[in-house]
Structures are given as structure tokens and as C-alpha cells.
Structure 1
Amino acid sequence: MRYYHRHSFFPLVIILLTLGLILFMFYAFSYQEVEDTPRSSTSNEVEVIDADSYREEVAYMLAVFEEDFDAASDDLSKLVSAEDLLASLLELTVPSEYKVLHLELAVVMNKIQVSLRSSDRSLDEPVSALEQLKLQYPWLEN
């Protein structure tokens, strides 16, 4: 009995695919892309932050917050105004002399949000902390 061996193109396909993969990998790793912009992610320009404009912006944002907070009829509106102020504060560039104040304002706004989301909804501590900051920095009242 004679067995007929069927010839297959499978080994040829494997060889061609292997050669194609080798060729692709060679070009992928040896090709260097020319970029228009340099890869430097750091900027050499230092933005000068004006302390007076920072004070004006923060005082204005606090005035708007207090106006919205006092006019709010429910806790959800108060929460939205606190979230808006916190988002605005986090977008500001802060002068070095006001970094501590900025952090304390952000913490107070976060405490207000936590208090409004909690079951007891007591705002005594964060509001008194905000009043302490206003006493410490009188320009916040403007």
C-alpha cells in the first residue's frame, strides 16, 4: 500500500510571514522620525505671578461664593457653589507667599463639601475656619 503525501504550502507561508516580520521589525526600529518640535517638555519661560492680581481674583471668587452660598435655598445649591469655588481655586497659579493660604482655602472648601454630603450637614467648623482665614487675611473681605 502506497501512501500519498500531500504537499502543503504551509511551510512556505510560515517562512514568508517570518521574513516579513523580520523586515517589518528592522524598519520599525531603525526608522527615526523627524519631528518639527523638540522633545523638551519643560518650558524655559517662567511666568511671573503678580500677588496683587492673585489677591483680587481670590477676593472676587470668595465674594461670588458667599453671595451664591447665602442665596442658596438648599444644600445641593450650596454644594455646587462650593465645588465651583474649589475648581476655580485649583485653576489659579499661586504666588509663593500665598501657597499656604491657597491650600487652606482648598481644604476649607473640601470640608464644606464633605459636610454638605454627610448626614448631619453641620457647617460650623468649615465656616468658622473660613472666617479665621478672613481675619488672618483682611483683603479676603473685599
Structure 2
Amino acid sequence: MPGNAPWAQKRGGVSPAKTCLLLSLPLAVLVILGLQAQGGVMDAVSVLVTPTFADPQELLLYFAWWPRLVVALLAGAGLGLAGVLMQQVLRNPLASPTTLGVASGANLALMVATVLTPGLLVIGREWIALAGGALAVGLV
């Protein structure tokens, strides 16, 4: 019977969500250790919720530590989302900005703009890189 074949049986494997959670545990430990060095987790959370700015350590937590953590998490989520969208749009699980040449196209555009037309850098490096990456995707 084909339903009883060993390869057709459900395995009790670990889901991708559980794998991501397991891999993020060391990050959580590092965050807690970093907060312990700043005065403790509860102090850091209280500074985030109700800042008094009486202590320089509170200023560091409120204006440096928490914004950096949030931006790092948002940037990582954005890059992950961009990779997933690229894979879904192209219907290729191996598609990534490096395998498709998007990163190389962005780097080439920045290099050409820097060497040949430095005046273009006034509009912003990110726009030049975006144009180079878009050109590379168009060529692919």
C-alpha cells in the first residue's frame, strides 16, 4: 500500500518556527546579559516605560541601547522579508540578492558613480545602489 511506505509516513520533525525559536535563544541570553551590565532587566524596562533621566545610565539606555535594539530587529526583519519576497516572486527557493546579482549590481553602480561621476553621489548612495540593483534584476 502506498500510504504505508516509510517515506510517506509523517515524521515528528521540528517545524521551522521551532527551529527559529531555538536559534534565537542565544540572542535572548545575550540581550539579558547586556541589560544586566546596564543595571538589570527590570531597570531597563522601567527606563523604557517611565524615563526620569536622573542618571546617565538611564540616558544611555533610553537614547542608545533601546533604539539600537529596535533598529537592529527591524532591519533584520526587513532583510528577511525582502529575501522571502524575492524567493516567492521568482518562485525559486534558492533566489537571493547575491545569487541573482542584485548586490553586485548595486556595488557596481556605486563604484561607477564614485569613479566616473562623483556628482551623482549628492542625490544619495542608496538611490544609486537601488538603481544598480534594479538594473541587475532587469538584466537577469
Greater relative contact order, per chain length (Cα 8 Å cut-off, separation 6+): 1
Normalised to the residue count of structure 2, the TM-score between the two structures is: 0.23
Normalised to the residue count of structure 1, the TM-score between the two structures is: 0.22
**Structure (1/2) with the larger helix percentage:** 2
Rg larger in structure: 1
